[in-house]
Structure 1
């Protein structure tokens, strides 16, 4: 039994190029330094003694910079290539942390935080395009799952170390974040070879669907983005508003909230690669995406059906985690399938922007609904939005099937 399980994991992680593993290592180094952003509000209010409103303004500027950075990163990826955008994003972003450390006024903090995320978030579409470049259609979804594994492990390490550094001195958060960014850039520079995009792309005739030159003219993809935003808002709300509900309404202590949320990263690390390996050829990508979206709604439905029941909390965490594992790798892979080498950065950027927009809007919208109408009304709304998103993805799937029939 143990040997069989070990073989399954070996097969799930096997068959990917050296560059894919190196890119995952770059992501792990980068995300392991994620310390400043999670502690930004605490730093501004506790160390610099600004009001919560001022801190919110700085965080909002960082979010706005991230949205614009993702879009510009995609544009630059198509013009300059994914390798150089990743390299300069990591290096310049790392140096900006050392600048941000010395800012002491709201205007300079807002401007520097905006620039930091503008530069830093440009890494995402370039990295996504790079994974597509170094993978094959057969292992692409698993390649994205491996990258997500690196992100989740990094996110588990970064904030944990950040909490330790913050107790010593907040400046060490900026130093550590800057060093890890620059280290990731050096790792990429010296260990990942920059190949010629055109030469590699000629080796793989990987397009499964016809595409237009611009992502904005790809009607199926633009519809898909609308329903991705709805799903992303529902998903992000779980990690921004739900912990507040647990603490304020259910009186769960912070340490247990941390353990509950930590289950998400542990499950992703242990299960996602194996899950993708076993199921990816059984159904269409949009089918798995739809199932993932429904599971997101089910996680909130548990709160409605079992109000005040503490035992349902780990069940909800497991459910939202399987929602993530089913939907996100296939969404990423499907985005790449609809692109060409010439517009892949644009496609990746628009897809990444869905999560950037959700990250900014989910806490605001969720907080407003919960404050005015109560948490349980919010859960009901999110169940409804998840169902709308699911039906939307089913509609997108019917459009792709119909288009395939016409073309055949």
Structure 2
């Protein structure tokens, strides 16, 4: 066997060989994100209708609170009815509720519609991640989750531009555009995704091998929680709770580039274009570099990659404290952006690997909910801390990031790096060519490849 067999799969190779439903989920998500306008322009829309800025802020907060609930509901719904119908219900429901926000006559009816929209529009996220985890082999999951993140980032970057074009015509066109985008994703999911649960036979064989090896039973029990009890089982998984804590803290400090960074740039006397350039730099690094870097990191131990990503994020944000002008701002942005692309794909892929059978949706839903909760609370806490301590807020971000590093180190469980089959392999054949077994750790699961040296 040639050495090519041991190399990690590339971006295009992974995409070409991915099952049709996996590609459909990624494409559908891109379409949906390209049409996600309402949250971006919600404050402008509500003030346009004559409501105060305070009332508009309440509307945005209600929408954000709904998203956290929707992620938890989406996890449970995925485990009950499967990914396909969860995505269809979420996207069709969000299309209807988007139009309800447009045509609701009074503030209280708008707030109800926004709370429901925030929840229903997020139900699909655990379902999409669950389907990728079920249909993609372990050794390619990190790369596929990186592709999913790329679709989200490209959509989130381009959506405000498309929204501005629609808004130039009318607010009605803006809301109808988002509703149509959601319906397109619903149709894609209905036509292309399999019904029910789609666990691959390869996964069943891997579980059977693990069950057959009594020596690895302790490792397996440490990773898997009981497959019953819904979210109570998630709460009973102490190691996974540490991972969720890391996820929450990661989100709390990550969002400060949107909340505190513009205030810090302005306070330092820099023009607004500097802040815009820093955000654009982050977007360029993520979109251009995440997939090529993931090709290298996808086979590394999940704990090491997750910890490295969180450490870079913490260090980069702490660098904003250094008063060295624009150069320090650029360096800090590059460092934490590298942390995002190093750790992001692995951190988002890990919940599916940690989940026991029957609870993958809830494990994914709880992780997404923690990230959403951090994104909702982070701006409020960050701005208040900025007003209290000024530039030292970045040192606090670094300290919180270090706590996240410790939580991830304790919460991410690495499975055994040697499979039973590898232990039984005969010694290398030295008659001409030497056959070497190379064991790679994919996320937290082993993959063995045989190289001819």
Same fold (TM over 0.5): yes
For residue 195 of structure 1, report the CA deviation from its aligned partner: 4.5
For residue 60 of structure 1, report the CA deviation from its aligned partner: 1.1
Aligned partner of 1:74 in structure 2 is 75
Map 1:11-26; keep pairs closer than 5 Å. 11=13, 13-26=15-28
Aligned partner of 1:173 in structure 2 is 174
1:259-281: CA deviation from partner (whole Å, max 9, x where unpaired) = 43133333222221221111222
Counterpart check, 1:204 vs 2:184: no
1:344-372: CA deviation from partner (whole Å, max 9, x where unpaired) = 11001000001110111001101111122
Larger Rg: 1 or 2? 2
Aligned partner of 1:353 in structure 2 is 369
Distance in 2 of aligned mates of 1:109 and 1:314: 41
The 3-state SS of whatever aligns with 1:250 is: coil
Counterpart check, 1:235 vs 2:254: yes
For residue 404 of structure 1, report the CA deviation from its aligned partner: 6.1
For residue 313 of structure 1, report the CA deviation from its aligned partner: 2.8
Distance in 2 of aligned mates of 1:204 and 1:35: 39
Counterpart check, 1:223 vs 2:234: no
5+ residue gaps, structure 1, are: 1-6
5+ residue gaps, structure 2, are: 1-8, 211-219, 228-232, 421-453
For residue 300 of structure 1, report the CA deviation from its aligned partner: 1.8
Map 1:257-296; keep pairs closer than 5 Å. 257-281=275-299, 283-296=300-313
Contact 2:83 / 2:195 at 8 angstroms: preserved in 1?
no
Aligned partner of 1:4 in structure 2 is none
Map 1:113-132; keep pairs closer than 5 Å. 113-132=114-133
Pair 1:364–1:272, CA change in 2 (3 A): same
Counterpart check, 1:343 vs 2:359: yes
Aligned partner of 1:3 in structure 2 is none
Distance in 2 of aligned mates of 1:360 and 1:317: 22
Distance in 2 of aligned mates of 1:275 and 1:11: 15
Pair 1:226–1:48, CA change in 2 (3 A): same
Aligned partner of 1:371 in structure 2 is 387
Distance in 2 of aligned mates of 1:259 and 1:168: 28
**What TM-score does the superposition give when structure 1 sets the normalisation length?**
0.89
Distance in 1 of aligned mates of 2:269 and 2:40: 24
Contact 1:233 / 1:361 at 8 angstroms: preserved in 2?
yes
Map 1:82-101; keep pairs closer than 5 Å. 82-101=83-102
The 3-state SS of whatever aligns with 2:138 is: coil
1:236-281: CA deviation from partner (whole Å, max 9, x where unpaired) = 122232123324543322x553343133333222221221111222
Map 1:152-167; keep pairs closer than 5 Å. 152-167=153-168
- Computed over aligned residues only, the root mean square deviation of the Cα atoms, in angstroms, reads 2.2
Distance in 1 of aligned mates of 2:175 and 2:93: 14
Pair 1:180–1:244, CA change in 2 (3 A): farther
Distance in 1 of aligned mates of 2:171 and 2:358: 43
Q: How many residues get paired?
A: 390
Pair 1:369–1:274, CA change in 2 (3 A): same
Contact 1:268 / 1:325 at 8 angstroms: preserved in 2?
yes
Distance in 1 of aligned mates of 2:295 and 2:30: 21
Pair 1:55–1:272, CA change in 2 (3 A): same
Distance in 2 of aligned mates of 1:248 and 1:161: 31
For residue 310 of structure 1, report the CA deviation from its aligned partner: 1.6
Distance in 1 of aligned mates of 2:257 and 2:383: 12
